[in-house]
Amino acid sequence: MKKYLEAILAILTIILFSLVAGIALYFADSTEEQKVQKYIKEKYGFKIGIEQVIEKGIASHPTFVVFPEKHPDIIFKATLNPSTDTVTDDYPEALKADKAFHKLEKVIPAIEQLEFESFDEEFKVSYSGSKKRFLKLYSSTPIELASFKEEHLERFFELQQLIKESGASITHVMVEDNREPVESNSIYFAMADMKDAKTKEEA
């Protein structure tokens, strides 16, 4: 009888231990950050760091601004739906933008010689959706729209020529002049509109 009770007690102990371990494992993997990290690891095979969490309201889905630990320059977003535990991400788009930037790198010195500067602290290619990749720049010299053709057309034409020559898959370019916002002007154009332009007059 004593051996029988000991056996029952041993079985109950194992069941209790398994239950506690299961609960602990569930809670260890139940935070939103960990769900996103696990999703990215399983889908793409790399670990991520989390730069920011964007939550716009009580019922909104949290969006994580993340990056691969080994490639911190590739910033992308992963959005978690807490009700279904599903995650969506835009890593493929971020990867395309990163590849476009690396192709652009070889002509950046020439772009700077045309008196264009990085929009932020450094040159980068941003993206919107799967088809739009943007290059944002500052013009070191003021952009005067009234005299644009006479004073600026040539260097803008040379800018788009450099982008073409680099092979970077940039779809749109935006340039602002480096003045106060109330005085600043900007130029925005699609590279597709320039694909057949061989001279500045055709631009």
pLDDT in tens, 14-32: 665 555 444 444 444 569 9
Mean pLDDT of 151-166: 94
Are the C-beta atoms of residues 187 and 177 closer than 8 Å to each other? no
**pLDDT one-digit tens code per residue, 47-61:** 999 999 998 777 689
Are the C-beta atoms of residues 100 and 76 closer than 8 Å to each other? no
Band of the pLDDT at 129, cuts 50, 70, 90?
A: confident
Residue 36: which residues within 8 A CB-CB, separation 6 or more?
48, 50, 64, 66, 78, 80, 87
H-helix or E-strand containing 125?
strand 125-128
Structural domains of the chain, with CATH: 2-90 (3.10.450), 93-202 (no CATH)
Amino acid identity for residue 51 in this structure: E
pLDDT at 44 over 90: yes
pLDDT of residue 171: 97
d(CA 161, CA 29): 51
Q: What is the side-by-side strand order in the sheet with 86-89?
A: 48-54, 63-68, 76-81, 86-89
Are the C-beta atoms of residues 120 and 178 closer than 8 Å to each other? no
Average pLDDT of the chain is 87
Q: Choose among 103, 129, 118, 104: nearest CA to 174.
A: 118
Inter-residue long-range contacts of 51-58, CB under 8 Å, 24+ positions, other chains counted: 51/75
Read off the tokens for 179.
């003045």
Q: Choose among 166, 144, 137, 156: nearest CA to 197.
A: 156
Please list the alpha-helical segments (H only) found in the chain: 2-28, 32-44, 91-104, 108-113, 148-151, 153-166
Say which residue the tokens 């010299």 belong to: 141
Mean pLDDT of 85-96: 96
pLDDT of residue 24: 43
